[in-house]
Amino acid sequence: MLSVVDRIWEKVLWCLMALASLYVGLIMVAIIYMTTSRAMGWSYNGLTFVFIEYGFLYIMFLGSPWLIRTRSHVYIEMLTAAVPDPVRVVLSRLICLVGAIVCLIWAWYTFQIFLEQFDDPMAYDELRAQFDLRLWVSTVIFPIGFLLMSIEFLRFVFTAEPMHTGHAGVASDRVELEETRRNIEQEQSASAGLR
């Protein structure tokens, strides 16, 4: 039962990360639209700028929970690689508990801030005053993102294999390497098939 929920939950987080990736592609399109318009002397929608700039916050909070789950964030496995396994497991769970608490605290207070800004009719993005952007539009993603991150850290407190695997080096690189390897193998077999 729990594993079914976990698998569905994983799909949800994957979808959020996919949204973040799609956003990166859209930023490319937005920049080309804006820059080409400018070079040609055409006017363009100023909100394109806002779409790009606000995007970075959204991309981070959408993708971050998935990356915690897949051990992709940068963290250093120096101590956790040096200590014996039982110590590593306890240490890793403690670290993840700290992560969960910090994220939960942020989720709670940024939710308060969101409510306050939602109720305040004068709380606008002052830097981009010409666009009439309410402040809560950017703040709303904070509590959501931090809550999801908190849940993912908390999950690692209880999983059989903790977040820190004890392999020397940087965990995220190992994931990236495995992905790269897999992709290259796939590509090679694909191109072999084509030939």
| Footprint on residues 71-130 left by other proteins (CB under 8 A) | 72-80, 91-92, 95, 98-99, 102-103, 105-106, 109-110, 112-113, 121-130
CA distance 178 to 171: 11
Residue positions counted in the chain: 195
169 CB contacts (<8 Å, ≥6 apart)?
77
Residue 80's nearest CA partner among 190, 165, 177, 154 is 165
Residue 1 or 84: the one with the smaller Cβ distance to other proteins is 84
With CB under 8 A as the contact rule, the residue among 11, 56, 158, 189 that binds other proteins is 56
CB of 99 to other proteins, least distance (A): 6
Site mask for other proteins (CB under 8 A), range 169-188, x = bound? xx-xxx-xx-xxx-xx--x-
CB of 6 to other proteins, least distance (A): 21
Task: Please state, as a whole number, how many other Cβ atoms lie within 10 Å of the Cβ of residue 20.
Answer: 19
With CB under 8 A as the contact rule, the residue among 9, 10, 49, 93 that binds other proteins is 49
Residue 2 or 122: the one with the smaller Cβ distance to other proteins is 122
By CB under 8 A, the count of residues binding other proteins is: 87
